[in-house]
């Protein structure tokens, strides 16, 4: 994965270079270089294997068996393993070093005023560099749906008959008990996980150069005296002292400070999004119907006729019990780091919903379902009574009918929840497209290459003497003052 471009807010165009800040950036860049090199090596081997594998498949389709090529592909696979291990090792080692260097970069800084005369200095855009793009993307998606159901339909029939009496007359007691029970267990689990890591580094051809660059020599002397506290290094605004300093040019101990006079630019995009959405629904429904029939029958048996009558009590009950637990969890972790450009990131609307028992269960709803189940139980009871009566009257064969139990369990519907606006993979892709468009348009980026202009004490002394005593010394210029004076007004390059 390409690393982000190191940047220090204290180093801007025209500012005095802070040696410590510049050194920190150079060290960070040096530490990041082995990471990028190891990543490039790994990617090159992966690309090589995929290319060779496609060539292998093409040859096989042509009825050519590339045996040696197959061995080479295995060798490339071994190299990929080594490169991945080397990349992981390098990344861990260098990241520990980078963490220490990042701690030195401050967001808020205070420094001395720039010695540049901004009223006479312009920023000139020049195509000194080149446009490049390096991108790496890794996407992982996981979708799992698990469902199971357990449905049980049980029918229990009981029949008890008792008789008492003397002679031809008797009294028979018939007790019929029937129960129909349905049990339904359902479990549904749906899990969707997606991870996208997207990185890109760009360099931009457009450079910015201070041209013309004009120094305010009085401000520059004040800046010098703030940077160099030693009395021997200070510059005193005295013609005699400045004349002596002006003649010391080129000595080994000559000190200087630098300002940033130009820069080339680059930008980087590092984005990661991980979205996890889990849904789980568990339902439990029990329905039971019972029918109890108590019959007392008086029977008179003779050779020619048989009569029977019955008085009794019927008892039918039906019950329904439902349980449902539905859960939905949505989590999103989004990280976007950009250097040199500020992007618009758009959220998306996600509809949350959990399961519920459907309000419409057909004609009659729950009451009709219970009636259906109760009738099934009652029909079972009546069938048993018929069978018992047929047995007592001496019938040899009774037609048996299997009772049909109608499924009366409730359907599941969807209970709509609220709309939630969140960031997901689509948001990251939109941000990346925005980044590419901005990079192509130009005018963005952070400095990746600094042009520095050194300013020495001798140079400042000569410029001061030229400004205040132009007739006593040669006109020595340490900036573009002559060009700015010869091109007043709008003749200088326009500032953009």
Helix axes 457-468, 217-227, angle to 10 degrees: 150
Instruction: Quick: pLDDT tens for 315-325.
Output: 555 565 666 66
Q: What is the mean pLDDT of residues 448-458?
A: 91
Asked whether the predicted pLDDT for residue 109 surpasses 70, the reply is yes
| Residues 173, 176: Cα–Cα separation, whole Å | 10
Task: Please report, for residues 45, 332, 421, 432, the alpha-carbon distance to residue 138 in angstroms, rounded to integers and kept in the order given.
Answer: 16, 17, 25, 14
pLDDT score recorded for residue 361: 46
Radius of gyration of the chain (CA): 45
pLDDT score recorded for residue 167: 47
pLDDT score recorded for residue 492: 46
| Lowest mean pLDDT, pick from 81-95, 132-146, 435-449 | 132-146
What pTM was computed for the model? 0.65
Q: What is the mean pLDDT of residues 390-417?
A: 46
Which domains, and CATH codes, for the chain?
A: 19-108 (1.10.287), 139-196+270-423 (no CATH)
Instruction: Quick: pLDDT tens for 199-218.
Output: 899 999 999 999 899 999 99
| Residues 262, 323: Cα–Cα separation, whole Å | 72
Model confidence at 160, pLDDT cuts 50, 70, 90, reads low
pLDDT score recorded for residue 90: 95
Instruction: Quick: pLDDT tens for 22-51.
Output: 999 999 999 999 998 998 999 999 999 999
Dihedral angle over CA of 405, 407, 408, 413, nearest 10: 180
Instruction: Quick: pLDDT tens for 364-398.
Output: 555 555 555 555 555 545 555 555 554 554 444 44
Mean pLDDT of the chain: 75
Instruction: Quick: pLDDT tens for 319-366.
Output: 656 666 666 677 788 888 888 888 877 777 766 655 555 554 455 555
HEC string of 1-33?
Answer: CCCCCCCCCCCCCCCECCHHHHHHHHHHHHHHH
Asked whether the predicted pLDDT for residue 152 surpasses 70, the reply is no
Ranges of H-type helices in 162-252 = 217-227, 239-246
* CB-facing half-sphere around the CA of 162: CA atoms within 13 A: 5
Q: What is the mean pLDDT of residues 412-425?
A: 65
| Residues 313, 297: Cα–Cα separation, whole Å | 12
Q: Residue 305 burial by CB count (10 A; 0-12/13-18/19+): exposed, middle or buried?
A: exposed
pLDDT score recorded for residue 182: 55
Is the distance from CB of 479 to CB of 287 less than 8 angstroms? Answer: no
Helix axes 19-61, 67-102, angle to 10 degrees: 160
pLDDT score recorded for residue 320: 57
pLDDT score recorded for residue 290: 59
């Amino acid at each position: 994965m390409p690393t982000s471009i190191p940047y220090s807010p204290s180093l801007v165009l025209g500012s005095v270079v802070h040696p410590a800040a510049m050194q920190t950036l150079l060290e960070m860049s040096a530490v990041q270089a082995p990471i990028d090199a190891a990543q490039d090596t790994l990617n090159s081997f992966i690309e090589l294997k995929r290319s060779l594998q496609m060539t292998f498949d093409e040859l096989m389709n042509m009825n050519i068996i590339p045996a040696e090529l197959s061995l080479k592909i295995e060798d490339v696979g071994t190299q990929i393993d080594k490169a991945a291990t080397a990349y992981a090792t390098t990344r861990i080692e260098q990241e520990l070093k980078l963490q220490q260097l990042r701690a030195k970069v401050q967001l808020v800084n205070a420094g001395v005023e720039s010695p540049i005369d901004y009223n006479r200095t312009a920023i000139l855009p020049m195509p000194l560099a080149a446009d490049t793009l390096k991108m790496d993307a890794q996407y992982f998606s996981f979708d799992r749906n698990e469902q199971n159901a357990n449905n049980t339909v049980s029918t229990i029939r009981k029949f008890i008959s008792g008789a008492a009496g003397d002679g031809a007359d008797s009294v028979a007691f018939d007790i019929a008990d029937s129960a129909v029970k349905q049990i339904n267990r359902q479990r549904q689990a749906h899990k969707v996980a997606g991870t996208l890591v997207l990185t890109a580094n760009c360099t931009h051809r457009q450079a910015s150069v201070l041209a013309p660059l004009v120094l305010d020599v009085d401000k520059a002397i004040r800046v010098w005296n703030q940077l160099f506290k030693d009395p021997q290094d200070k510059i005193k605004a005295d013609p005699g002292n400045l004349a002596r300093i002006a003649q010391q040019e080129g000595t080994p101990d000559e000190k200087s400070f630098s300002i940033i006079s130009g820069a080339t630019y680059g930008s980087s995009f590092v984005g990661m999004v991980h979205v996890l959405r889990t849904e789980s629904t568990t339902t439990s429904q029990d329905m039971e119907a019972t029918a109890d029939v108590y019959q007392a029958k008086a029977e008179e048996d003779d050779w020619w006729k048989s009569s029977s009558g019955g008085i009794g009590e019927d008892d039918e009950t039906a019950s329904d019990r439902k349980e449902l637990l539905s859960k939905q969890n949505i989590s999103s972790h989004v990280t976007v780091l950009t250097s040199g450009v500020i992007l618009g990131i758009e959220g998306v609307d996600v509809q949350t919903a959990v399961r519920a028992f459907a309000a419409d269960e057909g004609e009659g709803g729950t009451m009709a379902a219970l009636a259906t189940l109760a009738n099934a139980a009652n029909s079972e009871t009546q069938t048993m009574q018929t069978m018992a009566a047929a047995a007592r009257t001496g019938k040899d064969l009774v037609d048996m009918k299997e009772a049909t139990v109608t499924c009366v369990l409730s359907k599941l519907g969807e209970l709509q929840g609220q709309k939630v606006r969140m960031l997901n993979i689509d948001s990251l892709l939109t941000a990346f497209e925005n980044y590419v468009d901005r990079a192509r348009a130009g005018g963005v980026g952070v400095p990746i290459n600094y042009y520095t202009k050194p300013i020495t004490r001798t140079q400042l002394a000569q410029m001061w003497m030229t400004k205040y005593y132009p007739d006593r010394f040669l006109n020595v210029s340490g900036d573009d003052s002559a060009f700015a004076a010869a091109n007043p007004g709008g003749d200088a390059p326009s500032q953009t």
